């Protein structure tokens, strides 16, 4: 396929490189990041999108997505698919889908899970909203960039799935870190706690796959001085999106709201910015000392 890829940062660049490595013709654009080897550089987002079968965007937020969509959609060929892989608010995803549909294009909102490592290794999970026909068109690309793609429903459903997933992740990581810090206070060895919890009813992805305690469980950012695999400020962004969605839909999410408040304090008032979201553990240890 001919692919336009807009947004070549830490996530977008390896995703685009994997597509080019699989034999697709990829033209890329970013306002700041360099265009990786193997990607044809474009002078603008519109140029990257011109004559493309699929245009993929990986952008920081909803307002930037809508601005880029306004530039790109008029340049696209009718019948092509606009596939946004950013994590943005549900409303922005639906607005952009409406713009694309009105221009005779397919549209997908397809946020990802798996972080930078998943982008590099082609093991991302895509949560996808949009029509079945557009999903079928882009599915071969999802298979290159990821290990799984789930068609969640119509426009906005992918973003809804992403923010619900990450609300669970944020709250679970806080509880996991609280538990390790409590174990320390009670004199319980961290390895013994992991051995019990990881095979008992308290097991979770935060504990078993991404343990926040250094030297315990599989390799994780905790073993690299909490340099981010998934930065705390990005977790805060997702929790903010979840709370925005809860307010607009009238949903009650008290644990999600509390997780948002804790990460906001960690990022904005403490030393969380630039650290992995699992650095909540040394935070609680410090608070308990």
Q: Give catalytic residues, as residue numbers.
A: 162
Angle, helix 232-249 to helix 157-185, in steps of 10 degrees? 120
3-state secondary structure the chain: CEEEEECCCCCHHHHHHHHHHCCCEEEEECCCCCCCCCCEECCCHHHHHCCCCEEEECCCCHHHHHHHHHHHHHHCCCCCEEEECCCCCHHHHHHHHHHHHHCCCEEEECCEECHHHHHHHCCEEEEEEECHHHHHHHHHHHHHHEEEEEEEECCCHHHHHHHHHHHHHHHHHHHHHHHHHHHHHCCCCHHHHHHHHCCCCCCCHHHHCCCCCCCCCCCCHHHHCCCCCCEHHHHHHHHHHHHHHHHHHCCCCHHHHHHHHHHHHHHHCCCCCCCEHHHHHHHHHHHHC
The number of CA neighbours under 13 Å toward the Cβ of 150 is 13
Separation CA 154–CA 157 (nearest Å):
6
- Among the listed residues 59, 58, 107, the one whose alpha carbon sits nearest the alpha carbon of residue 82: 107
């Amino acid at each position: 396929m001919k692919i336009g890829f807009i947004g070549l940062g830490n996530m977008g660049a390896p995703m685009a490189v994997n597509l080019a490595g699989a034999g697709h013709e990829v033209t890329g654009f970013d306002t700041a990041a360099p265009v990786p080897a193997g990607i044809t550089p474009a002078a603008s987002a519109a140029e990257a999108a011109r004559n493309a079968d699929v245009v993929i965007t990986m952008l920081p937020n909803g307002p930037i997505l809508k601005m880029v969509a306004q530039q790109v959609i008029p340049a696209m060929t009718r019948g092509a698919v606009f596939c946004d892989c950013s994590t943005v608010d549900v409303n922005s995803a639906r607005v952009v889908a409406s713009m694309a549909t009105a221009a005779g294009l397919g549209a997908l909102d397809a946020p990802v899970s798996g972080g930078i490592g998943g982008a590099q290794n082609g093991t991302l999970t895509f949560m996808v909203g949009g029509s079945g026909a557009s999903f079928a068109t882009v599915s071969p690309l999802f298979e290159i960039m990821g290990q799984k793609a789930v068609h969640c429903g119509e426009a906005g459903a992918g973003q809804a799935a992403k923010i619900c997933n990450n609300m669970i992740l944020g709250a679970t990581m806080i509880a996991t870190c609280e538990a390790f810090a409590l174990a320390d206070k009670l004199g319980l060895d961290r390895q013994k706690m992991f051995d019990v919890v990881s095979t008992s009813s308290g097991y979770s992805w935060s504990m078993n796959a991404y343990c926040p305690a250094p030297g315990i469980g599989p390799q994780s950012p905790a073993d690299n001085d909490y340099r981010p695999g998934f930065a705390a400020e990005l977790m805060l962004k997702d929790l903010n999106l979840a709370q925005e969605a809860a307010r607009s839909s009238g949903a009650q999410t008290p644990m999600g709201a509390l997780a948002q408040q804790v990460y906001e304090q960690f990022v904005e008032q403490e030393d969380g910015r630039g650290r992995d979201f699992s650095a909540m553990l040394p935070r609680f240890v410090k608070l308990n000392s």
